[in-house]
Amino acid sequence: MPIVFKKDTNQFFLHTDRSTYVIELLDGRIPLHAYWGKTLPDMPPLVTWKSSFPSMFLAWDTGLEDVDFITTGCLPLEYPVFGSGDMRDPAFHAQFADGSRVMRLEYVGHTVTDGKPKLCGLPAIYANADEAQTLEMHLKDELSGLSVYLLYTVLPAYDVITRSVRVVNGGTEDVRLLQVASASVDFYDSQFDMLNLPGMWARERQIERRPLMHGVQRTDSKRGASSHYQNPFFALMPSDTTETAGEAFGFNLIYSGDFLASAELDAHEMVRATLGINPYDFSWLLTPGEDFQSPEAVMVYSDAGLGEMSRKFHRLYRDHLLRGKYQHGNRPVLINNWEGTYWDFTEEKLLEIAKGGKEMGCELLVLDDGWFDNDRLGELGPIGDWDIVDKKKLPNGLKGLGDKLNAMDMKFGLWFEPEVFSMNSELYKKHPDWCIHVEGRPRTKWRHTLNLDYSRPEVCEHVIKTISDVLNSAPISYVKWDYNRNISEAGSKGLSPERQQELRHRYMLGLYYVMETLTSRFPDVLFEGCSGGGGRFDCGILHYMPQIWTSDDTDPEERIYIQHGTSMAYPAIAMSAHVSASPNHQTFRATPFKLRGDVAMAGQFGYELDPAKMTDDEITAAKEQVAFYKKYREVVQLGDLYRLVSPFEEPFAAWEYIAEDKNTVLLYTFVINSKPYVAPKRVKLQGLDEAAVYVDEATGKEYSGAFLMQVGVARERTADHLSEIAVFRKK
């Protein structure tokens, strides 16, 4: 059984296939964190906090009511609460009606159930009764009647534990929640590195790894979106952990809004990791009888380095986060008009692009920004009026265009930005108070838009109706859901004064409601998430939309870094990647067509250019690329990724995908910068069967698995931007 409760020692053992997590109830009352790591049998001698802290033990014997503060200051707590002798960052902080914030959450009971309950209104990992087990531990503050339920779901095959917290006001007075972290883990060690994925528009999710220093190291978002700037993912690991060896503890929050991820190295040389909704500008009024559900944190344990940690995240997300018809691939190769035309297009031009794309092998045309009524070209167009098509550009409307595309056997995809509107839209004229704002105060416009207030049910219903009407009006089989601004001047006309600080989280609940409704109403439509490129690349969005536009930066050199960093937590099947024109529109760098194709074929493949501007050689190469991708896409989409060489360590990158059946292996190699007179790079593969023979499809050469892994294959690095995708077939 994955979850075992030992009554005699008051311990919970949460077992995955290769790891164990132990919670111990101090005096049967206070949950302590006892262990997280490699599998630990639940047989004597059992780990206890007492054996870890022998000198502290005496202090506790004096009784819980009068605890020595030094002792509490270094106790490994399972869910630290504000207002005790524990001086580190709390996970939970709430205020009672009398203004006080001190409480004691004590264990009162637990249940263990097979499977995994849904989290009300929130995206989450899902699992059947035979795939997971869930522990719900009930903690209660006797004096106030406030209950906190800690939820742990164990997915043994993935070495994953998911955690979330439900708070129930069982008292008779209001309680104001000030912080409800989803997970907190107190490690007994201090020698950790922290790995984060910071970035910016057009250079999202770069890898940053640094040793923990004393104090709190935090990354967060205060933008109303998970953001380009940080990602709700981080990993902690001993400093000698590498890509292929050592322990790694991965944390990821299934949430698209403001998060806080922190690691505190304290004076006792212990580390507390915390992950959850950002307490910044958050408070939540819980009236008697009401409950609050936190987002879910995913925790992955690996004892074989960062590569294995990532593969566990990838498998989990492919099998238990993504949903719908396109969960396992089967997605069209597309051509998007954005970088080809920007706002300047006509129906005729779009059909020409579609024809060019079709010739290359593409299966779908995406019409990007600017198709709605747009008197003035470009960013000043009235965003928000999704029911008014620009008849000058599209005289036959969306249906006319869609029918023509379908007639040439091309599917039709459409761009929306449903969370914003501009002041020159009809929608704004009708509902000026539907934006996030405070009356009489300034408002920041981004790309000339204001943020629709998704905390208001009537706004959500309006968006659902408008988008549904458009999707019903034309043969649309793909939607690109963009969001090009963030929340500023947070205030809502729909919320009472005492609930204003609920806006940011209520916005996310509204967004998830809209996404859930639309994606289940249109199950055949493939939805792609986007937020100024990869500004909301997170598990929350992925639960509704199985792919996300990874970055507005389509320069293949930049993309190598972005896709490498993104792969720390997210699978290739989720990463949209397109071939665009050269010189690149974001970096102005010229790159070979082959490199652009090879990099994009490591993700969810497509094109974003005007075929009329391509040379004949490029058209021929594109045909080969599409044919190659269609043949091998399942290996990329569903296979296991091995990051062989990191561009963050040398001007070269290598990725390997092994098919689910282990018979096909794709090896991607990229030279970023050449150096004169350097020997070819030996790229050593991983994860192969040592004794098996693998045939290089292009050359017919045969290699043993051992040779490929120990000697490797040679790749010239005598010129910038050399790239190759090799296919090895197991004999």
Q: How far is the CB of 364 from ligand GLA (least distance, A)?
A: 15
Amino acid at 267: A
Q: Which is nearer to ligand GLA, 258 or 552 (CB)?
A: 552
489 vs 413: CA distance, rounded Å: 34
Element (H, E) at 665: strand 664-671
Q: How far is the CB of 45 from ligand GLA (least distance, A)?
A: 56
- 627 neighbors 620 (Cβ within 8 angstroms): no
Burial classification of residue 731, based on how many CB atoms lie within 10 Å of its CB (0-12 exposed, 13-18 middle, 19 or more buried): exposed
Q: How far is the CB of 544 from ligand GLA (least distance, A)?
A: 18
Instruction: Residue 690: count other Cβ atoms within 10 Å of its Cβ.
Output: 11
* E strand map for 380-446: 411-416, 420-422
Q: Which is nearer to ligand GLA, 133 or 336 (CB)?
A: 336
Q: How far is the CB of 349 from ligand GLA (least distance, A)?
A: 17
Q: How far is the CB of 320 from ligand GLA (least distance, A)?
A: 28
Contacts of 636 (CB under 8 A, 6+ apart): 572, 573, 601, 602, 603, 629, 657, 666
Instruction: Residue 523: count other Cβ atoms within 10 Å of its Cβ.
Output: 10
Q: How far is the CB of 217 from ligand GLA (least distance, A)?
A: 30
Q: What torsion, rounded to 10 degrees, do the Cα atoms 395, 397, 402, 403 define? A: -70
Active-site residue, selected from the candidate residues 141, 266, 453, 482: 482
Helix (H, G, I), strand (E, B) or coil at 335: strand
- 604 neighbors 573 (Cβ within 8 angstroms): yes
Q: Which is nearer to ligand GLA, 134 or 374 (CB)?
A: 374
Active-site residue, selected from the candidate residues 141, 390, 552, 555: 552
What is the binding site for ligand GLA (CB under 6 A)?
Answer: 338, 368-369, 415, 482, 484, 530, 532-533, 549, 552
Contacts of 516 (CB under 8 A, 6+ apart): 544
82, two tokens: 């504000």
Give the C-alpha distances (Å, rounded to integers) separating 258 from 131, 181, 629.
Answer: 31, 12, 37
Tell me if residue 610 is catalytic: no
Q: Which of 654, 664, 590, 596 is nearest to 625 (CA)?
A: 596
Amino acid at 215: G
Instruction: Residue 350: count other Cβ atoms within 10 Å of its Cβ.
Output: 23
Q: How far is the CB of 485 from ligand GLA (least distance, A)?
A: 11
**Nearest-CB residue to ligand GLA?**
369
Q: Which is nearer to ligand GLA, 319 or 368 (CB)?
A: 368
- 560 neighbors 653 (Cβ within 8 angstroms): yes
Q: Which is nearer to ligand GLA, 534 or 687 (CB)?
A: 534
Q: How far is the CB of 339 from ligand GLA (least distance, A)?
A: 8
413 vs 526: CA distance, rounded Å: 9
Q: Which residues of 438-474 are buried (b: 16+ CB within 10 A; e: fewer)?
A: eeeeeeeeeebbbbbbbbbeebbebbbebbeebbeeb
Q: How far is the CB of 374 from ligand GLA (least distance, A)?
A: 12
Instruction: Residue 240: count other Cβ atoms within 10 Å of its Cβ.
Output: 10
501 vs 495: CA distance, rounded Å: 9
Q: Which is nearer to ligand GLA, 12 or 561 (CB)?
A: 561
Tell me if residue 266 is catalytic: no
Q: Which is nearer to ligand GLA, 20 or 451 (CB)?
A: 451
State the residue for tokens 């566990």. 312
Q: Which is nearer to ligand GLA, 2 or 533 (CB)?
A: 533
Q: Which is nearer to ligand GLA, 250 or 370 (CB)?
A: 370
Contacts of 477 (CB under 8 A, 6+ apart): 332, 364, 411, 412, 413, 524, 525, 526
Q: Which is nearer to ligand GLA, 104 or 585 (CB)?
A: 585
Q: How far is the CB of 578 from ligand GLA (least distance, A)?
A: 9
447 vs 532: CA distance, rounded Å: 11
Question: Cis peptide before 45, with omega less than 30 degrees from 0?
Answer: yes
623 vs 629: CA distance, rounded Å: 10
In sequence order, the β-bridge partners of residue 106 are 140
Catalytic residue ranges: 482, 552
